[in-house]
Structure 1
Amino acid sequence: MSWLLPSSGADSSGGAKGFSLVELLVALAVLAVLATAAIPAFDTLMRNTRVSAAANELISALFLARSEAIKRGRRSTLCTSADGEFCAQGVDWTDGWLLFVDANGNGQRDAGEARIRVSGAREAPVTIRGNAPVKSYVSYLPTGVTRTLDGALQMGTLTVCDRHAVRQIVISASGRPRLVAGGVCNR
């Protein structure tokens, strides 16, 4: 038995090689059924990936803010920012954020206060929103705990979502952020 095919257009039995029209249509029908089943699963995978990436970037920035406050012995603030230069009260976390050393503790980046990290806006349909205590900023003291600008305890939840894919970043009383899968999208 030889593994080489004959060089002519016929197989070893003398018949023509190739697919019939019926075989081709059956193969296309099977492919269409498989594609129809796979596309919704791929869409879900893409949504989960987008949400996970945005949540991981934000929780990384929170851990960095906490460690920078401890390392530098000064307050560090992570705030909503549309331009990457200054904090903005009228925007949410979807529009971007800014991490800086808040030497004077006023919650605003002033001249001479170092920018540590900047992140731009998220692409739709991903949204990131914080509940009231963390709606526009999270501020860490040199001890690693979160406090509002007036000194009150600051803990809350940042929700990252894309339709049905949801991740929540919960900031505890000690200032430690943790990632939680699921929750309700607060669009």
Structure 2
Amino acid sequence: MRIFLNYPSCRGFTLIELMMVVAVTAVLLGLAVPSFNALMERQRLVATQNHLMAGFHYARSLAVSTHAQAVICPSSDGLNCQTGGVWDSGWMIYVDRNRNGRRDADEAPQRVERQPSGLRVRSSASRPQAVFRPNGGSGASNLTLRLCSESGQALGTLVLNNSGRLRKTVAADASGRCT
């Protein structure tokens, strides 16, 4: 005696249906991933600009409140300023009491930022750091920090003028490439 069980309520998906779902999902992901990457790059730019602006504002207020020169410069170790205008590894702020242009042993760093953002941050080699005077001015020529993607495309800039005012620009105003 044979017993045949018929389960009409137990139905599954065919292989063709599953392949169609996979194909539609792949197309949607293909459209979404580039937009998501662009969004993440814009967010890294905004975050890096805001961190740098906070550092520059802190250095300026430190110079005014201590009545001494305050310096913000690129630094990878948090103890010494780097030359060459590469700010990728971070920066530090210190009070230069003897006005010799470098951090001495008795001049402790007031703030150190070391958070690589995945962006390239470059200033001109002729002005790799900003020195704020007790009146809040930065003197010398304008300091421009160019923020670029990992591929070297300019995304935005920060410009510090002689009076100590800092402004940021977006990609449309930033031209050229970072090296």
TM-score, length of structure 1 as denominator length: 0.81
Residue 166 (structure 2) pairs with residue 177 (structure 1) = yes
SS at match of 1:66: helix
**Residue 93 of structure 2 is aligned with which of 96, 99, 106?**
99
- For 1:48, the equivalent position in structure 2 comes to 42
CA distance in 2, matches of 1:144, 1:132: 23
Change (3 A) 1:113 1:76: same
- Rate the CA distance shift 1:91–1:131 in 2: closer, same or farther, 3 A: closer
CA distance in 2, matches of 1:139, 1:115: 14
Displacement, 1:105? Answer: 1.3
1:179 is displaced (CA, Å) by 1.3
The alignment covers a number of residue pairs equal to: 169
1:29 aligns with 2:23: yes
**Corresponding residue SS for 1:94:** coil
Shift of 1:20: 2.3
The alpha carbon displacement at 1:15 in A equals 4.0
After superposition, the CA RMSD in angstroms is: 2.1
Secondary structure in structure 1 of the residue aligned to 2:155: strand
Q: 2:100 aligns to what SS in structure 1?
A: coil
Please give the per-residue CA displacement for 1:154-187, whole angstroms capped at 9, x wherever unaligned. 3221011113461200112311111111112322
The residue aligned with 2:132 is: 140
1:156 to 137, 140, 143: 143
Instruction: Please state whether the residue corresponding to 2:116 is helix, strand or coil.
Output: coil
- Mapped contact 1:95–1:120 kept (Cα < 8 A): yes
Aligned residue identity for 2:158: I
What are structure 2's unaligned runs of at least 5 residues?
1-5
SS in 1 for 2:88: helix
1:18 pairs with one of 12, 16, 31 = 12
Q: Which runs of at least 4 in structure 1 moved beyond 3 Å after TM superposition?
A: none
- Superposition TM-score, scaled by structure 2 size: 0.84
- CA–CA distance in 2 between the matches of 1:127 and 1:22? 47
Deviation, 1:36, is 0.7
